[in-house]
Amino acid sequence: MSKRVIVIFPHPDDETFGAGGTIASLVEEGAHVTYWCGTLGEMGRNMGNPVFANRETLSSHRKRELEEAVSVLGIDVVHLGYRDKTIEFEPLEEMVTHLRTKLEEERPDLVLTHYPGYAVHPDHDALGRAAVEAVKEMEEPPELWLHAISNDSEKDLGEPAITRDISDYWDTKWKAIRTHLSQADGMVDLLNREDQLERMKTERFYTGDQLR
């Protein structure tokens, strides 16, 4: 049976920016990957450049962009139905139960989410925390890979256990980045910085036993 992977992040584009190369490589290795996308990113501040979205239409653009991105990456998407910017204010217990129930149905081998407390955006930290707790509550917990973003993650947590050189999948990741048109400009700006570009070609994850 093929490896079952669930990716849990809050925003359309987190999957591509944070883990696009890893996802593409897992798919090529035969894994069945599904992105559980927490929100529609409806409160994002990037509106395209030049601007083509507004606060009310942004959700539609981002949903459509995500559909293209997951098609590029070769994965499925499930929307969890939370609200952008508000995940940390939801009752944690309810989210944990929601995620655990769904995970028990899917019985994944691997769950990929944000490292709670080290993922910069409050939605990243909050959904990552709920996902980690949900996995901990499972009788047969899947493997956990955790994406950390904050500048102090290595100082506090040490080196991530998993380092994936995704150079071979860079074209796919780049294509997926470009599908997130309303958001891509901020990202592309980043990529014009050489150090950031090299950073994007390596994806690193902490493992569940590195949680503290």
Cα–Cα distance for residue pair 59/83, rounded to 1 Å: 11
Instruction: Tell me how far, at minimum, the Cβ of 125 lies from other proteins, in Å.
Output: 11
Would you say 15 or 125 has its CB closer to other proteins?
A: 125
- In the block, tokens 């995500």 appear at 66
Report the residue number, 2 or 57, with the smaller CB distance to other proteins: 57
Name the CA dihedral angle for 125, 129, 25, 21, rounded to a multiple of 10 degrees.
0
Question: Cβ of residue 187: shortest distance to other proteins, in angstroms?
Answer: 11
In this structure, what token pair is assigned to residue 202?
A: 């390596």
Decide whether 54 or 207 has the Cβ nearer to other proteins: 54
Least Å distance, CB 211 to other proteins, is 22
User: Which residues does residue 8 pair with via DSSP β-bridges, in sequence order?
Assistant: 36, 113
Nearer to other proteins, 15 or 123 (CB): 123
Tell me the three state secondary structure of residue 161.
coil
Instruction: Identify the bridge partners of residue 36 per DSSP, sorted by sequence position.
Output: 8, 78
Smallest gap from residue 176 Cβ to other proteins (A): 20
Cross-strand pairs, 18: none
Q: What does the binding site for other proteins look like in residue numbers (CB under 8 A)?
A: 40, 42-43, 45-51, 54-60, 62-63, 79, 81, 85, 120-123, 149-151, 185-186, 189
Name the minimum Å distance from CB 91 to other proteins: 20
CA distance 172 to 170: 5
Q: Please, which residue, 79 or 175, has the CB nearer to other proteins?
A: 79
Pairing relationship of beta strands 202-207 and 162-165 according to DSSP bridges: antiparallel
